[in-house]
A and B are shown apart, each in its own frame.
Chain A
Amino acid sequence: MSSQDTLLEVKNLHTGFNIDGRVHHAVKDVSFSVKPKEVVCIVGESGCGKSVMSLSVMNLLPKHNGKIDKGEILFEGRDLAPLSEKEMNAIRGKDISMIFQEPMTALNPVLTIGYQLDEVLINHTTISKEEIRRKSVSLLKQVGISRADQIVNEYPHQLSGGMRQRVMIAIAIACQPKLLIADEPTTALDVTVQAQILELIGKIQEEVGMAVLLITHDLGVVAEMADRVVVMYAGQVVEETDVDRLFYEPKHPYTKALLESIPKMDEKRDVLNTIEGIVPSLKNMPEKGCRFVDRCPAAMDVCREMDPILGETDKGHAVRCFLYEESFPQSSDKRAEVQ
């Protein structure tokens, strides 16, 4: 793939945490890519490594115990993993921006909204001093904040949750980034406000022409927003494909079970499908074999012995599961690579 078709390419990413003197991988062998202007959703249950993956891309891992052990994070062909703090600062907020679940933690409570917006513009653009405030106000208007000229002088705690998330989006898009990483941006919001914010992200994505990496645990949000979907389970990518095939031709036993375990508005069922058990914690990850094996209805002996690899069954549809490995065209080479 040339760097023209891919904006971000994460290759074999391994991110570990040092817990009681041992390294545990919260992200183990994650690969996926994002094309320019594409919306890619990362979906998975709590603790599966979605946030650690996005913090790895942004180089924002907690310094005292978190570290990228292996793999590459290619942004427009350049590996971000080894970059210094200074080099990353030039990229963060300019080429890649990020918004979080709880905007309050990302906004500075003692600075006005306007100050915080101005700061991003001062750091990353050459807009003249006189112009900056005007640009800040217009950004707030762009994200649908009505009293923008007053809001610039207010503090984060004076705003509602939905308004704060709008402000975060304004800050994130201030420099027209090529990639926006949004980590559960609507999870803390009410559904009617979530609908507003998702619509806003969709609208801005088109206006700015940026790609969005949207992290969520909500399959409804995925269906609504995604072009392509990456399903994570216990620190690994288990399936990756376009949104239509994910919902209509899911392959991995985890994806299938997940889709069947959510109650749907338009149908009446007495019993929901369930996935027995829970996601293993970092410390209790199986040493080898498929990480889903204890909960998988299709588990076979081989699943405990060897690690399944992520491979394409059809063009643009990748799965990590022994049920499909024979159909990987490159299966034997890939296996050889791993072993």
Chain B
Amino acid sequence: MTKETVQSEHLLQVQELKKYYPVRGGFFRRKVGDVKAVDNISLELKRGETFGLVGESGCGKSTAGRTIMRLFKPTGGKILFEGQDITELRGSGLRDLRRDIQMVFQDPYASLNPKMMVGSIVSEPMINYGMGSESKLKDEVMELLKRVGLPEDAYYKYPHEFSGGQRQRIGIARALALKPKLIIADEPVSALDVSVQSQVLNLLKELQEEFQLTLLFIAHDLSVVKHMSDRIGVMYLGNLVEVADGEDLYKDPKHPYTQALISAIPQPDPRNKSERVILSGDVPSPQNPPTGCPFHPRCPKVMPHCSEVKPQLKEVNRDHRAACLLYE
């Protein structure tokens, strides 16, 4: 990657991204179909903002995150990072990119090497990128551990000696070690209890300001996503169906799926039991997605042509886009 810094407003631009997984079957393990995990996603992240990606299990959030950081090769579409096309990046270019984009995972335990001391876990990426030896980096790592709220002696301990919330702090420290420009946090608090969840959410917000991070925050819990994000993208079956400012999305959701999703979230207020939109059925398989609008088999506002025409993400209001034929 050439190092001329294109100071575009956008740190990341994703255009019509697709990622299909092959389905193999039969005696010869031949490809018999595709799981269209990410079918069409276009989004931009401004520098320093938090973009929340929300949707139900299997809608392709993790696949999107991993494809954006180029753990996978996209099936189609384009990814621009700081204005550079990274879609086809390989070798040393990809290695440089990995330094700028880091990931925080849902299951902190599975993502940390159980045989390594926390100090080594956090310094490993720095050593890999030639920033010094473990002993030389020690003060810096200690400082980082302190910054994410871990006790002094954490450096010499092993992951199993920590609670879930503390392990997530270790994962965050490791992700921060290389001073990345973009952090992709994939369900970073989904495995945590509420009282610990709020600790980690607060920490992420503080760090973001302090290090001027751009954050792609992936989660299935819309309340959490809304708390964290400036803008939110709602995914359904591999497609981005709505993108808006968090407050707008909540107050004035345009897509029937977003409307149902918001109304399905039980609110912690017994005096406010709003009428629910109860969707029928389950999410269809991404291997055989419905024709036309992917939401049409469950949509309470379905129209006859919804099964034939696939809606595209279009501006409905200012800075508010939705993919629904109601607005075409």
Cβ-defined contact, A190 with B195, below 8 A: no
Q: Does A193 contact B (CB under 8 A)?
A: yes
Contact with A along B239-255 (1 / 0, CB 8 A): 00000000100100000
Cβ-defined contact, B278 with A219, below 8 A: no
| A-facing residues in B235-277 (Cβ within 8 Å) | 247, 250, 260-271, 273, 276
| A-facing residues in B159-202 (Cβ within 8 Å) | 163, 165, 193-199, 201-202
Cβ-defined contact, A247 with B57, below 8 A: no
Cβ-defined contact, A274 with B198, below 8 A: yes
Q: Does A84 contact B (CB under 8 A)?
A: no
What are the residues of chain B within 8 A of A278 when measuring CB–CB? Answer: 163, 165, 195-196
Cβ-defined contact, B195 with A162, below 8 A: no
Closest partner residue, chain B, to A229 (CB atom): B270
What are the residues of chain A within 8 A of B73 when measuring CB–CB? Answer: none
What are the residues of chain A within 8 A of B215 when measuring CB–CB? Answer: none
Which stretch, B61-69, B99-107, B223-231, touches the partner chain A?
A: B223-231
Out of A46, A160, A163, A223, name the residue touching B193 (CB < 8 Å).
Answer: A46
Q: Does B141 contact A (CB under 8 A)?
A: no
| B-facing residues in A182-239 (Cβ within 8 Å) | 190-196, 198-199, 217-224, 226
How close is B210's CB to chain A, nearest CB, in angstroms? 14
Which stretch, A123-131, A132-140, A253-261, touches the partner chain B?
A: A253-261
With A263-B226, A265-B265 in contact, do A274 and B270 touch (Cβ < 8 Å)? Answer: no
How close is B281's CB to chain A, nearest CB, in angstroms? 9
Cβ-defined contact, B264 with A192, below 8 A: yes
Cβ-defined contact, B282 with A162, below 8 A: yes
Q: Does B325 contact A (CB under 8 A)?
A: no
Cα separation A185 to B226 with both chains bound (whole Å): 25
Cβ-defined contact, A263 with B224, below 8 A: yes
Cα separation A130 to B240 with both chains bound (whole Å): 51
Closest partner residue, chain B, to A273 (CB atom): B198
Cβ-defined contact, A221 with B266, below 8 A: yes
Q: Does A306 contact B (CB under 8 A)?
A: no
Closest partner residue, chain B, to A268 (CB atom): B247
What are the residues of chain B within 8 A of A154 when measuring CB–CB? Answer: none
Cβ-defined contact, A196 with B226, below 8 A: no
Cα separation A132 to B120 with both chains bound (whole Å): 63
Cβ-defined contact, B268 with A220, below 8 A: yes
Q: Does A272 contact B (CB under 8 A)?
A: yes
Q: Does A269 contact B (CB under 8 A)?
A: yes
Cβ-defined contact, B260 with A220, below 8 A: no
What are the residues of chain A within 8 A of B56 when measuring CB–CB? Answer: 190-192
Q: How large is the interface on A (under 10, 10 to 19, 20 to 34, 35 or more residues)?
A: 35 or more
Closest partner residue, chain B, to A243 (CB atom): B270
Cβ-defined contact, B247 with A247, below 8 A: no
How close is A166's CB to chain B, nearest CB, in angstroms? 11
Cβ-defined contact, B194 with A261, below 8 A: yes
How close is A165's CB to chain B, nearest CB, in angstroms? 11
Q: Does A157 contact B (CB under 8 A)?
A: no
With A45-B194, A195-B276 in contact, do A274 and B199 touch (Cβ < 8 Å)? Answer: yes
Q: Does A275 contact B (CB under 8 A)?
A: yes
Q: Does B205 contact A (CB under 8 A)?
A: yes
Q: Does B321 contact A (CB under 8 A)?
A: no
What are the residues of chain B within 8 A of A287 when measuring CB–CB? Answer: none
Q: How large is the interface on B (under 10, 10 to 19, 20 to 34, 35 or more residues)?
A: 35 or more
| A-facing residues in B81-96 (Cβ within 8 Å) | none
Q: Does B222 contact A (CB under 8 A)?
A: yes
Q: Does B220 contact A (CB under 8 A)?
A: yes
Cβ-defined contact, A45 with B195, below 8 A: yes
What are the residues of chain B within 8 A of A274 when measuring CB–CB? Answer: 195, 198-199, 202
Out of A190, A244, A262, name the residue touching B223 (CB < 8 Å).
Answer: A262
What are the residues of chain B within 8 A of A219 when measuring CB–CB? Answer: 194, 268
Cα separation A190 to B201 with both chains bound (whole Å): 21
How close is B250's CB to chain A, nearest CB, in angstroms? 6
| A-facing residues in B203-227 (Cβ within 8 Å) | 205, 220-224, 226-227
Out of A193, A244, A258, name the residue touching B271 (CB < 8 Å).
Answer: A244
With most chain A CB atoms within 10 A of its CB, the pick from B227, B261, B268, B273 is: B268
How close is B307's CB to chain A, nearest CB, in angstroms? 19
Q: Does A283 contact B (CB under 8 A)?
A: no
Cβ-defined contact, B278 with A196, below 8 A: yes
Q: Does B142 contact A (CB under 8 A)?
A: no
What are the residues of chain A within 8 A of B198 when measuring CB–CB? Answer: 261-263, 272-275
Cα separation A46 to B280 with both chains bound (whole Å): 31
Cβ-defined contact, A45 with B193, below 8 A: yes
Contact with A along B133-164 (1 / 0, CB 8 A): 00000000000000000000000000000010
| A-facing residues in B267-308 (Cβ within 8 Å) | 267-271, 273, 276, 278-280, 282-283
Cβ-defined contact, A244 with B270, below 8 A: yes
What are the residues of chain B within 8 A of A78 when measuring CB–CB? Answer: none
With A45-B194, A258-B194, A274-B202 in contact, do A192 and B267 touch (Cβ < 8 Å)? Answer: no
Q: Does A334 contact B (CB under 8 A)?
A: no
Closest partner residue, chain A, to B191 (CB atom): A46
How close is B80's CB to chain A, nearest CB, in angstroms? 31
What are the residues of chain A within 8 A of B196 when measuring CB–CB? Answer: 278
Out of A193, A198, A248, name the residue touching B266 (CB < 8 Å).
Answer: A198
Cβ-defined contact, B266 with A190, below 8 A: no
What are the residues of chain A within 8 A of B266 when measuring CB–CB? Answer: 194-195, 198, 218, 220-221, 223-224
What are the residues of chain B within 8 A of A110 when measuring CB–CB? Answer: none
Cβ-defined contact, A247 with B282, below 8 A: no
Cβ-defined contact, A163 with B268, below 8 A: no
Cα separation A195 to B260 with both chains bound (whole Å): 10
Cβ-defined contact, B220 with A257, below 8 A: no
| B-to-A contact residues, CB < 8 Å | 56-57, 163, 165, 193-199, 201-202, 205, 220-224, 226-227, 247, 250, 260-271, 273, 276, 278-280, 282-283
9 A-B contact pairs sorted by A residue (CB < 8 Å): A160-B282, A192-B279, A194-B266, A195-B264, A195-B278, A223-B267, A259-B268, A264-B223, A278-B195
| 3 nearest A-B residue pairs (beta carbon) | A220-B266, A263-B227, A195-B264
